[in-house]
A = this chain, B = another copy of it.
Amino acid sequence: MGVVVVGSVALDSVKTPFGEVADALGGSAVFFSVAASYFTDVAVVAVVGTDFPQRHIDFLKAKGVNTSGLSVESGETFRWAGAYGYDLNDPDTIETRLNVFEGFRPRIPTGLESSDFVFLANIDPELQLAVLDQVERPRLVACDTMNFWIEGKRDELLETMRRVDVMIMNDSECRELADEPNLVKASRAVLEMGPHTVVVKKGEHGALMATRDLFFSAPAFPCESVFDPTGAGDAFAGGFMGHLARSGDTGAANMRRAVIFGAVLASYCVERFSVDGMSSLEPGDIEGRFKALKEVSDFET
């Protein structure tokens, strides 16, 4: 089984207290697919401009990513520029130029309509719905979103949510969507909107997964060298969905493992700019941090 991701491919200019980078490979679909590529077949559905460097496409292909759904449109690639302070919390967005991404109309390539696992990265919920209309009863659809859509396209987002299995969002988005500061209550409120599972990403504090029956509290890998948090949430989703698609097991115990694999990939992502922290992992690296997270969180009763 494999996974299809629909999202953005971007050229990011990022400044942190530790350095800066210009026009680096970025975008939700990129961070997701590089992370997921360590687990399973991944296909990207996204758009770039004619200025998009061939070496980035070559890199994705070398990671085994199916780029048949990556359309090249005349114009410039989506660009995002942001800066982080020392606390590496939410960045200040310096510039967003949608460019060809503004006219993005996702089309699932022939042969991928029957994909079992689909990730709707953070894009306009109307486009997320358009993707769902093109796929045939996937086993599991996961979806991300952001404050911009929660505030500006709430009805469309709620319609999308009625058709997805898993919401993957960060804690502030979860609280805002539910209009509830208590994260436990907010998670339950999100479940009432449709998904059977919500995974709340909390950055350095790990993640909380809620289903109707149970909560799962996952640690973050204790990273000493957080260099650039850009893309960590999508890398998390890539590890999570990648493991589910690899194993084909969406049972409760395996969903927990998937959250841990998400935390592992996010931890590698933040250690370098762009996808550099995830670009050349060995299978032993991922298993090593998985085991380390067990050691970090285990206790005897």
Contact = CB atoms under 8 A, between A and B. Distances in A.
Contacts of A223: 182, 184
A299 B291 CA distance: 11
A204 B208 CA distance: 11
A73 to B, nearest CB: 40
A122 B205 CA distance: 25
Contacts of A290: 301
Interface in A177-215: 181-185, 188, 202, 204-206, 208, 214-215
A202 B205 CA distance: 8
Q: Give 4 closest A-B pairs by Cβ, nearest first.
A: A217-B219, A205-B205, A256-B299, A87-B181
B226 A299 contact: no
Contacts of A102: none
B297 A217 contact: yes
A253 interface: yes
13 contacts: A86-B181, A183-B204, A206-B206, A216-B299, A217-B297, A218-B297, A219-B297, A256-B298, A256-B300, A257-B300, A259-B299, A260-B299, A294-B299
A298 B259 CA distance: 12
Contact count band on A: 35 or more
A257 to B, nearest CB: 6
A296 interface: yes
Nearest to A206: B217
A135 interface: no
Number of copies of this chain that the complex holds: 2
B296 A226 contact: no
Contacts of A182: 88, 223-224, 226
A220 interface: yes
A295 interface: yes
A20 B184 CA distance: 23
Contacts of A202: 205
A287 to B, nearest CB: 9
Contact of A297 (B185, B188, B216, B253): B216
Nearest to A215: B222
A104 to B, nearest CB: 36
Interface in A216-242: 216-220, 222-224, 226
